[in-house]
Structure 1
Amino acid sequence: MNDIRPLIPLLITAGILIGGNGLQGTFISLRALQEGFSTSTIGVIGTGYNIGFAIGCIYVTRIIRAIGHIRTFSALAAIASAASISMLLAIHPASWFAMRLLQGLCFAGLFAVVESWLNARVTNATRARTLSVYRFVDLGSVTFAQYLIPAVGISGFELFAIVSMALTLSLVPISFADRSSPEPPEAVRFDLKLLWKVSPLATVGCIVVGLTNSTFRSLGPVYADGIGFSVTSIATFMSVGIFAGVVLQYPLGHYSDKLDRRRIILIATFGAFAAGLFITFVAGSNELLNYVGIFIFGAFAMPLYSLCSAHANDHAAPGQHALVSAGTLFFWSAGAVVGPLFASFMLDYFGPQALFIYTTVVLGIFMVYTLLRMSVREGVPATARRPRFRNLLRTSTFFSKLAAPPSERQD
């Protein structure tokens, strides 16, 4: 424990950021409904965050290299905090879109600072434990944050203030993390054509994850509200879907390292597809059945990003793993930009059940594409590849480096 103790301030900062981000993602959707925004407008606002996140992924390392970790973090935390309060001062779709875009850019940078700093500080001896603690912090903070919504209420200014306070307070532990910032990280390179050449299936898979999982995070509260859930039930619905994401991560990852990884991708996609059908045609407005359905959906859908990333790395040549990690995150961001926007228009026209009709259609198409790729390309034999499955967060490209085995970290 002593060797992890110096990292505790960074992990606390990460928890505050992840919790604040998870709180705001659900709360903004519910508050927008209360303000009378249409579902399509809420989808546009959610798209703004993902556009900003994609931009931030591209440019953040340039900022860190120019002014250092702590100055980058301080500036972005201040901007994100101000953007949160600004949403209360100007309750209008256009201003909320602009503020969410700005927050997306800031959060991409904030997570990059924390994770590149962690990556510079962990050793081979502490890496596994640090990752385990980081995932626990991620799960715990997001789950706890959801229940602040019914506890505080969505009508007043309080949740805007809590998010702003969280972003401001995140400066405190990271300021005490170390007396000196680590060396600036190497610039993240993007070569999107490379990822397509390495693995078309992984490229399409990451886009599909963005199209579906990000839509659930943005419009899940709208769906639950539309079928009559209380605010507490909405928080539970979102928490169950998020928590379920860890249940099958390691079993699916374990078998994907031993079998043709595309088979496991196909199984996971089918599981999420079936869960979407169950929620749409069986669960109805029954709370318990919806919890069961979203648990199954999260258990199968959430590991897909990590499975697709591992599949891409199976085909990557030495020295290409960092480019692959950057490419998978970018293509996920691209899907996350389009998904909530398109699905929100469907909800406007067809009602809340359209959310999981949309996800099942997208996942069904991906299953067909996976089968097609399996018919035209031989799988990588298990004896010819090292275990590459890693439980990845889609927070920054530096998380992939943090989770990478020693043989790949020089990338």
Structure 2
Amino acid sequence: MIRMILAFFSLYLATLLLLVGSGLFNTYVGVYLTSLSVSEIWVGALMAVYYLGLVLGARTGHKLIIKVGHIRAYAASAAVVTVTVLLQVLISELWVWLLFRFVAGMAMVTMLMVLESWLNEQTENHQRGKVFAFYMVFSGLGTVLGQLTLPLFGQMEYEPLVFVGICSALCLIPIALTGRLHPALQVPAPLNVRYYLNRVPVSLTVLFIAGMITGAFYGLAPVFIVRQEVSSEQVALFLASAVAAGLVSQWPMGWLADRVNRADMIRINAVILTLLAIPLWGWWSAPFWALIALACMLGVLQFTLYPLGAAFANDNVDPDRRVGLSAILLMVYGLGACIGPLLAGMLMQQFNPNALYIFTSLCAGVLAVFVRTQHISGDHLSQDAPTSFVPMPDTLQSSPIASVLDPRVDMEHDVSHEPVPEELLAPDGDAGSQEPEEHPPAGEGEDPSAGNQQQDGADGQGDAQRVHPG
């Protein structure tokens, strides 16, 4: 383990520094603007445009890296992030901040593409899972440490912005001094979105709603906890506890997800998330220790929705199209993260800060209703299902390049960017279905339409996802 960390230490260190700055900034914006009595809609909008920059900046970053190389593209992007952050010290107009955050999102995704493509290029297939797991740990650790640095600044003025700028500049050093060779970067090709919509509509819904919940949390949870009249140390502890619990819980959640029907597990996760958010609706006041306990439990549930949905999707897509699947899932998750802070901000502005968790309950409730095994057939089950659960970053601080780090993909045989045969796009999905004899009949009391759900020895974890009409 130590040898692997040392082998990629410069890349991991750059990731850690980058995410420390990002984690602090997201928390600082909510706390600072709340102290100025700025509307929650503005806070949500700042987070939304940042995520929009992450989603839309991938192609621009790809072109930049191809044109000038990895180190130059990384250095230029780090400079852009640093400048946009420091300009917020000089300019206070919020509409200008929206522009800065969008540009920073585009620059950030370029930096992440450099780091992730480097990790992928110099990772052997048998090490891919471990390298990806350590990358996720350093990403999550950076976000947690960034939030915990908030109490170091007595007053919420410009000092945190300067520290974020310093982190953005410091993360240049390990990359600028690295002795690693430049990795190859493939030119992106169009993906056939229709194929994935036909194969995994349930997983796409899970990822979209998970993005809404996560985006709303990172943008507006600082506003919620500040309005509980707590100290800056308690604000940082509340946010860091939720993220840390979500990070640590991914391994035990993965053990469970590989042994339980994944559709049922997603639904149970959503039901519990809906109920656990109710104590934070504002009907009664809770001591701070109870807020921390709820933050940890909610973090476990909301930050594991992404990898659960991704594992469920991989069960129902052909192995040679999983790189494209990862890119589609990340895009859908990002779009949800753009919309979530805006909707939650509107609710909080209309009612009160506790409406953030009313929004969380509503989103999770929709999942609980939508994801049902009775609505799932076995038409598109992959021959290697159930695929392994893979812990994945939960902060959207990733790029489409991260898809090739997923140990469930095979880059040598992947055809995600090639045309999809028309028979695989047929609405009835017959061409992609498994032969009936490969699946045992539905268990007693199950819906006959879900008869293809179970795969021998898998407890139904590889359920295919074609929603039945009506």
Per-residue displacement from partner, 1:352-405 (whole Å, max 9, x unpaired)? 11010011011101110102x643424877985142321112311222321324
Matched with 1:89 is 90
For 1:380 and 1:287, locate their aligned partners in 2 and report how far apart those are by CA, in whole Å.
Answer: 47
Identity %: 23
Match of 2:388, as an amino acid? R
Structure 2 residue matching 1:258: 3-state secondary structure: coil
Which of 398, 401, 405 matches 2:404?
A: 401
Matched with 2:390 is 390
Matched with 1:70 is 71
Per-residue displacement from partner, 1:135-190 (whole Å, max 9, x unpaired)? 33223222221121111134332111111111111111011222531122442644
Query: Is 1:306–1:392's contact at 8 Å kept on the other side of the alignment?
Result: yes
Closer, same or farther: CA 132–375 of 1 in aligned 2, 3 Å: closer
Structure 1 residue matching 2:291: 3-state secondary structure: helix
Counterpart mapping for 1:336-347 below 5 A: 336-347=337-348
Closer, same or farther: CA 104–410 of 1 in aligned 2, 3 Å: farther
Closer, same or farther: CA 174–281 of 1 in aligned 2, 3 Å: same
Query: Which one is further off, 320-329 or 276-285?
Result: 276-285
Match of 1:145, as an amino acid? G
Query: Is 1:227–1:285's contact at 8 Å kept on the other side of the alignment?
Result: no
Closer, same or farther: CA 379–248 of 1 in aligned 2, 3 Å: farther
Structure 2 residue matching 1:228: 3-state secondary structure: coil
Matched with 1:292 is 293
Matched with 2:377 is 377
Matched with 1:184 is 185
Match of 1:137, as an amino acid? F
CA offset at residue 330 of structure 1?
0.6
Query: Which one is further off, 239-248 or 80-89?
Result: 239-248
For 2:234 and 2:4, locate their aligned partners in 1 and report how far apart those are by CA, in whole Å.
Answer: 41
CA offset at residue 103 of structure 1?
1.1
Which stretches of structure 1, 4 residues or longer, exceed 6 Å deviation after superposition? 379-383
Query: Is 1:260–1:380's contact at 8 Å kept on the other side of the alignment?
Result: no
CA offset at residue 198 of structure 1?
1.4
For 1:319 and 1:353, locate their aligned partners in 2 and report how far apart those are by CA, in whole Å.
Answer: 45
Query: Is 1:7–1:177's contact at 8 Å kept on the other side of the alignment?
Result: no
- Tell me which structure has the larger Cα radius of gyration: 2
For 1:408 and 1:264, locate their aligned partners in 2 and report how far apart those are by CA, in whole Å.
Answer: 29
For 1:154 and 1:191, locate their aligned partners in 2 and report how far apart those are by CA, in whole Å.
Answer: 50
CA offset at residue 128 of structure 1?
4.0
The answer on 1:252 being equivalent to 2:250 is no
The answer on 1:141 being equivalent to 2:142 is yes
Counterpart mapping for 1:8-407 below 5 A: 8-124=9-125, 126-187=127-188, 189-280=190-281, 284-371=285-372, 374-378=374-378, 385-393=385-393, 394=396, 395-405=398-408, 407=410
Match of 1:390, as an amino acid? V
Q: CA RMSD in A?
A: 2.2
For 2:61 and 2:272, locate their aligned partners in 1 and report how far apart those are by CA, in whole Å.
Answer: 36
For 2:235 and 2:259, locate their aligned partners in 1 and report how far apart those are by CA, in whole Å.
Answer: 38
TM-score normalised to structure 1 length: 0.93
Query: Is 1:279–1:289's contact at 8 Å kept on the other side of the alignment?
Result: no
For 2:254 and 2:189, locate their aligned partners in 1 and report how far apart those are by CA, in whole Å.
Answer: 26
For 1:406 and 1:362, locate their aligned partners in 2 and report how far apart those are by CA, in whole Å.
Answer: 30
Closer, same or farther: CA 294–381 of 1 in aligned 2, 3 Å: same
Closer, same or farther: CA 374–307 of 1 in aligned 2, 3 Å: farther
Query: Is 2:32–2:157's contact at 8 Å kept on the other side of the alignment?
Result: no
For 2:284 and 2:333, locate their aligned partners in 1 and report how far apart those are by CA, in whole Å.
Answer: 29
Per-residue displacement from partner, 1:58-97 (whole Å, max 9, x unpaired)? 4322222222211111111111100000111111110111
Closer, same or farther: CA 374–59 of 1 in aligned 2, 3 Å: farther
Query: Which one is further off, 125-134 or 193-202?
Result: 125-134
Structure 2 residue matching 1:385: 3-state secondary structure: coil
For 1:406 and 1:336, locate their aligned partners in 2 and report how far apart those are by CA, in whole Å.
Answer: 25
CA offset at residue 98 of structure 1?
0.8
1 or 2, which has the higher helix percentage? Answer: 1
Query: Is 2:319–2:382's contact at 8 Å kept on the other side of the alignment?
Result: no
Structure 1 residue matching 2:320: 3-state secondary structure: coil
Query: Is 2:242–2:300's contact at 8 Å kept on the other side of the alignment?
Result: yes
For 1:196 and 1:288, locate their aligned partners in 2 and report how far apart those are by CA, in whole Å.
Answer: 43
Query: Is 1:275–1:297's contact at 8 Å kept on the other side of the alignment?
Result: yes
Closer, same or farther: CA 129–370 of 1 in aligned 2, 3 Å: closer
Closer, same or farther: CA 191–89 of 1 in aligned 2, 3 Å: farther
Q: Any gaps of 5 or more consecutive residues in structure 1?
A: none
Matched with 2:456 is none
Match of 1:330, as an amino acid? M
Give the number of equivalent residue pairs.
410
Query: Is 2:276–2:298's contact at 8 Å kept on the other side of the alignment?
Result: yes
Query: Is 2:315–2:381's contact at 8 Å kept on the other side of the alignment?
Result: no
Structure 2 residue matching 1:319: 3-state secondary structure: helix
CA offset at residue 42 of structure 1?
1.1
Query: Is 2:133–2:391's contact at 8 Å kept on the other side of the alignment?
Result: no
Match of 2:60, as an amino acid? Y
Query: Which one is further off, 270-279 or 44-53?
Result: 270-279
CA offset at residue 316 of structure 1?
0.8
CA offset at residue 267 of structure 1?
1.8
CA offset at residue 116 of structure 1?
0.9
For 2:24 and 2:97, locate their aligned partners in 1 and report how far apart those are by CA, in whole Å.
Answer: 16
